[in-house]
Each structure stands twice: as C-alpha cells, then as structure tokens.
A and B are shown apart, each in its own frame.
Chain A
Amino acid sequence: MLKTRVVGVLVVKAGRVVQSLKFSRYLPVGKPEISVEFLNKWGIDEIVLLDIDATKEKRPPDYDLISRCAKYCQVPFSVGGGIRDIEQMSKLLKSGADKVIVNCEFLDRPGLITEGSKRFGSQCMIVSIDSMLKENGEYGVRSSHDLTGLKLNPVDLAKKAEEVGAGEIFLNSVNRDGQKNGYDLRLLAKVRNAVSIPVIICGGVGHVDHLIEGINLGVSAVAAANFFHFIEHSVVITKRALVEMGQEIRLDTYTTYERQEFDDDIRLNRRSEDYLTNLRFTYLPEEVI
C-alpha cells in the first residue's frame, strides 16, 4: 500500500535555513546541508528546499548549494525558487534535485510546465501555490509582483496547473505560515477535489494532530517546515507518534522510540532513574549497512 509522505520543508534565505512567520519575519536555523543531513538521517520521506530570495533578487537558483545538499539526501529532493526556464530546470536536476518546484513563473507563463513535463516527465514538475485568506474572507494568491494577493483563486490555479501538465501541487498558506494552528483544511478539501494529481499541503503545523487532520483529508503528502527545527530527532518522534495514533506511514530508521512515553505535546517523558543508570552500561551497536 502506498503511504502518505511526511515532507520536511527547508526555507532558505541568504544561504541559511530559516523559520518563516507569515512570509514576512524570519528566524535563522543554520546551514542547509546540515538540515538536509539531519532530516535524511531521521527518516523524512521527502525534502523540499525553497530558496525564497532567488525570485526577489532576480537571480538563478544556487546550483552549488543544491549539489552540496544533494550529497546528503537519500530521499527524493524537490527544489524551488527562482526557476524561470527549462535550462535552469535541467541544471538543477543535474545538480542532484529530483523534482523542480515552480511558483511565480507559473503565474506568468504556464506553458513552462508543459515544456518541462515533456522533457523531464510530469512526475518532475511541482507547482507551488501560496494561498492567502484576504480580509473579506476570499482566497487570493501571493506572488512576487503582488504581495497583497492577486485576484486569482487558488482552486482555479490548481486546475490550471494540472491542465498544463504538473505532476503535483504544493499548497502553502501565507496566513498560517508559522502560526502553529494547523493546515487550512477548508481550502485543502476544495483543491483536493478539484484536481486528480497528488497534493502536498504545507503551512501551520504546530502539533502532530495537525498532520493527522491533513492525512485524514486524503492528501498524498503532509509537509511541515518550522515544526521539524530545533528538536533532536524531531522526525523520528513525530513518526512514532503518528504510528501510535494508528496512521499508516513509513517507519524506517535505526532509532524508533518504540515503547517510549510521550506527553500531550509529543515531547518525550523522562525515563526512570534506573533505566538511565542501566543505559550507561548497555552496549548500543552502531548501525552497519
């Protein structure tokens, strides 16, 4: 059976991974290649790297950064930010990316996706949509030209993306970004029903329950960015919690946190003093592949 993917998103600004809040404030995390190495070791199902400066600075993607990161990535690696033509896609794929994510250029020139899917296959093309809930309760889409949200509708855009040959939709939410209050489920249900290609949902995860809400709506992949930073083994613990709650996901790490107790916020409970004392005399063999 195909499993719902748990995707780790790395937002890169000025060459550093950052936590992003509502697409406007940022908190530095560290070097991208180290983030990739950790997420990979902790058993993430896919890594998405978004270079949010590239389009703004009108520069091509940082191929060197991608090839440095790809070295540590043993899972599918999707890269976005600053992609404007086929040549750049080809260079990214050669640098070690497995899929490319197109956002702003898709709004201006949807034909790029058609060209790309003919050359590299549609499984390679992801269209990213940054949805915005405007004050009047309607949905808009944020682009680099219009930060207040164009008159475009995210659902129509998703349909258009499928039409022109995209293989997946990456649906993000500006209002929920970094707010830890869960995915925009209302919009997600609309988009999921409108298209037949896989949908990746992102934006707003603050608790494992939020991932489950996404999985229950039948998406192909649930993504989180800030949620996985600053916690040791964050992915392993999250996946263990998902399994405990009866979700069918891929569990494939040497460390599993089996028989471990969690509190309501999915933080590990402290083990008993006896257990910790014994641990000092237990031989834990290193994994050999």
Chain B
Amino acid sequence: MLIAIVDYGMGNVGSITNSLKLLDVDSFVSNDSRLLTKADGYILPGVGAFPVAIENLRSRKLDITLTNEIIEKKKPLLGICLGMQLLAEDSEEQKFTRGLGWIKGHVKRIKAEHVRVPHVGWNDIAIKDANGLLRNIEQGSHFYFDHEYHLECEYTDRLIATCDYGGLLVSVVTKDNIFGVQFHPEKSQRNGLKLLRSFSEIVKESC
C-alpha cells in the first residue's frame, strides 16, 4: 500500500510526510503524473490562495491525472484544508474561480459578525457519521483550523462533521472515495494521527 502526496507547489508536504512516517505508512511526494499513477491513495495538501492553487494543478496537468485515478479508478483521496476546498465547484477567494467540482458546494468567506476572521486555533467538531474516515475519532475531538474561506455544501448527507465558529462550518465532507477535511490533521496531534491512520486503512481496504 502506497500513498502519494500530490506536490503542486502549495502546501506543507513536509509535515504530512512526517506524520505518515510516524504511522509507518509508505508514502512519497511527487508532481510527476506517471509516478502518481502507481499510488493506491492520494493526499491533496494545501496552504495558500485558491486561484493560484487551481492554476498550479492545471498547468502541471495534475487535474487530468487525478480525475483519471480518483473518478475513473475510484482510488481514495484526502483533501486537506485548501486541498478540500479545491474539490468544490467554485470559490470566491480573490476572484471567481472554478474548482474541480467533485463535491457539490461553493467556497465562501467566513461571515465575520461576532468572530475574528481568519479562524485560527483548536476547535471541537460535531460528528454526524462516525463510520469511514471518522471511525476512530470521538465526538467533540479537537482539531487545528487555520482558514479564512470555508466550503458551503449543498447536500447535507455528504457532510459528516461540523464545527461551531460564529455559525456552523463544514469540517469534514465525503462522497464515495473522496474525503475532505477543513482542519490540518498533520498539525492536530493524536486526533490528527488517528484520522490519518483511518485514511490509510481505507486505502488498504480499497486496494
């Protein structure tokens, strides 16, 4: 079982590699389409702005590779933070930009009426579906969030966890073999490791 961390010039690939190493899970970082096809599962990291990120993916033709592997061959994918937002239909960050469109929803700025934006720090999540990715996570576990924009989902059955920050924010979404988390599991200590462990189990089961 091999997990590929997609390197498209955005994101803290080092932290994710460190976490997977701790869990003794085999992984590699690459932006080479041919190498990426050899993996059994994918992690799409992301720190930065939406338009640059999607442009980076497209210019390296990684969107085509990922569509082939994830939508056609049904390999599992975990999108982290910006990596999760890229799965949505579109985003209003900086300018209107189309995303990958694998999860129905739009990325919008957090409404700042009573809270400070960006949303930075440890928040607890409310879990709706404790199977799949969140099988080892307890209700009310803390994760590290760091974002200014968030995903607004259209279909609530795909939303499996939320957190409370001046209103409910989507924290975890899923659709078949695609998972997205708004927080940073690689920076969320034990809970983050547990979640990455579950993802690696999902990858193992699928191959």
Contact = CB atoms under 8 A, between A and B. Distances in A.
Given A3-B123, A121-B49, A168-B120, 14 more contacts: A1-B164, A3-B142, A43-B189, A70-B18, A74-B22, A74-B189, A74-B193, A75-B189, A76-B146, A98-B146, A121-B47, A196-B116, A252-B142, A253-B190
A70 B187 CA distance: 11
A94 B14 contact: yes
Most chain B C-beta atoms within 10 Å of own C-beta, residue among A98, A197, A198, A221: A98
Given A1-B164, A43-B189, A70-B14, A289 B146 contact: no
Nearest to B147: A123
A121 B118 CA distance: 10
A220 interface: yes
B89 interface: no
B121 A252 contact: no
Given A2-B122, A76-B144, A76-B146, A197 B18 contact: no
Contact of A289 (B12, B15, B49, B197): B197
B119 A2 contact: yes
Interface in A129-144: none
Interface string A106-140: 00000000000000111110000000000000000
Interface of B: 12, 14-15, 18-19, 22-23, 47-49, 115-116, 118-124, 141-142, 144, 146-148, 164-165, 186-194, 197
A45 B188 contact: no
A1 B123 contact: yes
A2 B142 CA distance: 9
Contacts of B188: 74-75
Contacts of B124: 1, 3
Interface string A1-29: 11111000000000000000000000000
Contacts of B18: 70-71, 96
Interface residues of A, number: 37
Interface string A85-113: 00000000111101000000000000000
Given A74-B19, A121-B47, A98 B189 contact: no
Interface of A: 1-5, 40, 43, 45, 67, 70-71, 74-76, 93-96, 98, 120-124, 167-168, 196-198, 220-221, 250, 252-254, 287, 289
B122 A250 contact: yes
Given A75-B144, A250-B142, A289-B197, A2 B190 contact: no
B22 to A, nearest CB: 8
Nearest to B191: A252
A254 B146 CA distance: 25
A167 B119 CA distance: 11
17 contacts: A1-B164, A3-B121, A3-B124, A5-B122, A74-B186, A74-B187, A75-B187, A75-B188, A95-B14, A98-B187, A120-B48, A121-B48, A122-B118, A123-B146, A289-B193, A289-B194, A289-B197
B142 A98 contact: no
Contacts of A95: 14
A167 B120 contact: yes
B181 to A, nearest CB: 15
A153 to B, nearest CB: 23
Contact of A198 (B22, B116, B186, B197): B116
Nearest to B145: A2
Contacts of B116: 196-198, 220
